């Protein structure tokens, strides 16, 4: 039997072969070893994680965090922290490794109990979720972690951690399947757009102007304490506050049951102490472990802070900062 090998037929066969290869490649890319379909996270609206994945991420973080805390070795949990929490954690471990090179003599393993996971259904990266647990530290407060990842081949990392009293834990809006709703950073549906919250908070702390923030321990109360500490016998203290929004410090927001949002965000703070002539500035071993330069007349302390705030829907409402965890990340003597 003769075969038609005309150029026209060969071109048609090549087109068919290409279509078959493309279809086969798409099928292969959409299947994992377990047989689950994986679609492009950039376009498809999907849960950021399964509940089993979220539980495993929390367990892996806790195990790594405890190992790093016991040894004062940041390399042991570097793959499981990022963002503001990563900044705070790595500086704490660095200082500890200098003050206690043989490890943490006060180490008590962190134990997290009764975790609950709030997982948004969304498109694009990062994928993220909230883990809410109680712990053997911090009294009755709930530990709220935000875990993020930027690709399927990357582990979930803890980017934010705040401790919130039980009665203040936000109630999140969920759909019939239990998935939460992410609010875009540029949303104009809230009193303050999430992308502006870090900058507005830093500005408020600097000058106290505006009515965006409700009174509280982390707003008016913190400003009042600073004003009280600004002038002490033989020492003056200046404060500078900056927004922190790039990369893994980007704000993340979920819709709450009342239509507003719970927003996790980060800020950076500087505290410069200047001594009068003949007066010494006190330091601690942890400060000295992170310090460059020599304290002669001034000492500048750098902190990173991560916050959770309730951002009401619409215009005119005031943002409530529920909780803030801050850690020393650097020091400079002059």
pLDDT by residue (tens digit) across 54-98?
A: 999 999 999 999 999 999 999 999 999 999 999 999 999 999 999
Extract the tokens encoding 138: 């911090």
Tell me the C-alpha distance between 69 and 231, whole Å: 36
Least confident window among 26-35, 47-56, 193-202: 26-35
Distance, CA of 77 to CA of 97 (rounded, Å): 14
Tell me the fold of 46-168: Nuclear Transport Factor 2; Chain: A, (3.10.450)
Q: What is the dihedral of CA 195, 199, 205, 209, to 10 degrees?
A: -90
Residues in the chain: 334
* Whether residue 42 has pLDDT greater than 70: no
Q: Which run of H or E residues covers position 246?
A: none
Q: Phi/psi class of residue 124: alpha, beta or left (left: φ > 0; alpha: ψ in -120 to 50)? A: left
DSSP structural state of residue 137: S
Q: What is the DSSP letter of 67?
A: H
- Confidence at residue 249, expressed as pLDDT on a 0 to 100 scale: 98
Q: Residue 32 — very low, low, confident or very high, per pLDDT cuts 50/70/90?
A: very low
Asked if 124 and 41 count as a contact pair (C-beta separation under 8 A), the reply is yes
Report how far residue 168's alpha carbon sits from residue 243's, in angstroms, rounded to the nearest whole number.
Answer: 25
User: What are the structural domain ranges in the chain?
Assistant: 46-168, 194-333
% pLDDT > 70, the chain: 87
pLDDT in tens, 117-171: 999 999 999 999 999 999 999 999 999 999 999 999 999 999 999 999 999 999 9
């Amino acid at each position: 039997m003769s075969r038609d090998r005309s150029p026209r037929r060969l071109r048609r066969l090549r087109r068919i072969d290409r279509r078959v290869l493309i279809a086969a490649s798409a099928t292969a890319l959409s299947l994992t070893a377990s047989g689950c379909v994986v679609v492009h996270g950039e376009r498809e609206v999907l849960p950021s994680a399964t509940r089993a994945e979220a539980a495993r991420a929390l367990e892996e973080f806790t195990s790594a965090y405890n190992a790093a805390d016991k040894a004062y070795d940041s390399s042991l949990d570097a793959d499981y922290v990022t963002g503001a929490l990563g900044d705070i954690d790595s500086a704490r471990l660095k200082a500890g490794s200098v003050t206690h090179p043989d490890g943490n003599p006060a180490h008590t393993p962190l134990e997290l109990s009764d975790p609950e996971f709030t997982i948004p259904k969304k498109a694009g990266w990062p994928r993220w979720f909230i883990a809410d647990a109680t712990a053997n530290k911090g009294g009755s407060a709930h530990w709220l972690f935000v875990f993020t990842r930027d690709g399927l081949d990357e582990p979930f990392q803890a980017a934010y951690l705040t401790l919130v009293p039980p009665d203040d834990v936000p109630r999140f809006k969920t759909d019939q399947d239990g998935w939460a709703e992410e609010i875009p950073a540029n949303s104009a549906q809230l009193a303050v757009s999430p992308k502006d919250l870090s900058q507005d908070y830093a500005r408020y702390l600097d000058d106290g102007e505006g009515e965006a923030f409700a009174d509280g321990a982390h707003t008016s109360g913190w400003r009042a304490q600073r004003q009280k500490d600004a002038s002490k016998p033989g020492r003056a203290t200046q404060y500078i506050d900056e927004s922190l929004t790039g990369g893994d410090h980007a704000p993340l927001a979920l819709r709450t049951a009342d239509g507003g949002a719970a927003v996790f965000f980060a800020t950076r703070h500087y505290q410069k102490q200047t001594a009068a002539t003949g007066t010494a500035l006190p330091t601690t071993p942890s400060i000295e472990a992170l310090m460059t330069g020599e304290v002669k007349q001034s000492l500048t302390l750098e902190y990173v802070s991560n916050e959770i705030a309730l951002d009401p829907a619409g215009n005119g409402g005031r943002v409530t900062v529920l909780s803030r965890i801050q850690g020393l990340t650097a020091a400079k003597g002059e």
